[in-house]
A and B are shown apart, each in its own frame.
Chain A
Amino acid sequence: MNNLIVSTITRMVVPFIQLYGIYIILHGHISPGGGFSGGALIGTSLILYTLVFGVKKAEKKFSHRVSEIAESGGILLYIAVGLIGMIVAGSFLTNLGAGFPKGTPGELISAGMIPILMIGIGIKVASTMITLFHTLIEEEDV
């Protein structure tokens, strides 16, 4: 799409959408939001970029290879943290009993391993959104 206004506004707005998504992911344990909502926001910003600048340019920024690695990495991070709790304390996703630091309640660094899980879920959801959209769009006309 060759529209000067749309492309300029998109270039200005996309970083702020992504910053808001990261804020929601990182504050998932002390305020409304969490990994799923923040990841969906980041995925939506990448979809906006694809809509405005086309699939070819978006593939350069976020290719299928990167998407595969991010998607598998997010869920593997979740499973690894869960397995640490299982090995140390006996059951899957044990939080404070497995020695994760407690922190100050209400502060950003608190609640043990929950922020790490939120980051994993956020990466997974964002890459899933963008993969769904790219797969639908880039298919050649049959």
Chain B
Amino acid sequence: MTVLNVALVIFLILAALAVERTKDLLGAVVVFSAFSLMMSVLWLILKTPDVALTEAAIGAGVTCILFIAVISRTERYEK
């Protein structure tokens, strides 16, 4: 279980760095959604299924859709 935990935390750090580095905002939103999904699995390992459920619905679902709606209203590439 410790190996899975460490792998998830390393993935979280890499995903957070990638979101900050990416110039393509649509790609950044997709990486952020993956970050949220892995965070949800990590909450489940930490024995809070309540927060994991909310994170999977809000973080990976609704936030991603709202960001994509905003991008479709504005520009895709950061200047």
A-to-B contact residues, CB < 8 Å: 24, 32-34, 36-37, 40-41, 43-44, 47, 51, 129, 132-133, 136-137, 139
Contacts and interface: CB of A to CB of B under 8 A. Distances in A.
Interface in B1-25: none
B49 to A, nearest CB: 4
Contacts of A32: 49-50, 53
Nearest to A41: B57
A37 B66 contact: no
Tell me the dominant secondary structure on chain B's binding face: helix
Given A32-B49, A136-B70, A37 B57 contact: yes
Interface of B: 49-50, 53-54, 57-58, 61-62, 65-66, 69-70, 73
B2 to A, nearest CB: 24
Instruction: List the 5 shortest-distance A-B pairs measured between CB atoms, nearest first.
Output: A32-B49, A40-B57, A32-B50, A136-B69, A37-B53
7 contacts: A34-B50, A37-B57, A40-B62, A44-B62, A47-B65, A136-B70, A136-B73
Tell me the dominant secondary structure on chain A's binding face: helix
Given A33-B53, A129-B62, A136-B66, 20 more contacts: A24-B53, A32-B50, A32-B53, A36-B54, A37-B53, A37-B54, A37-B57, A40-B54, A40-B57, A40-B62, A41-B57, A43-B62, A44-B61, A47-B62, A47-B65, A51-B65, A133-B65, A133-B66, A133-B69, A136-B70
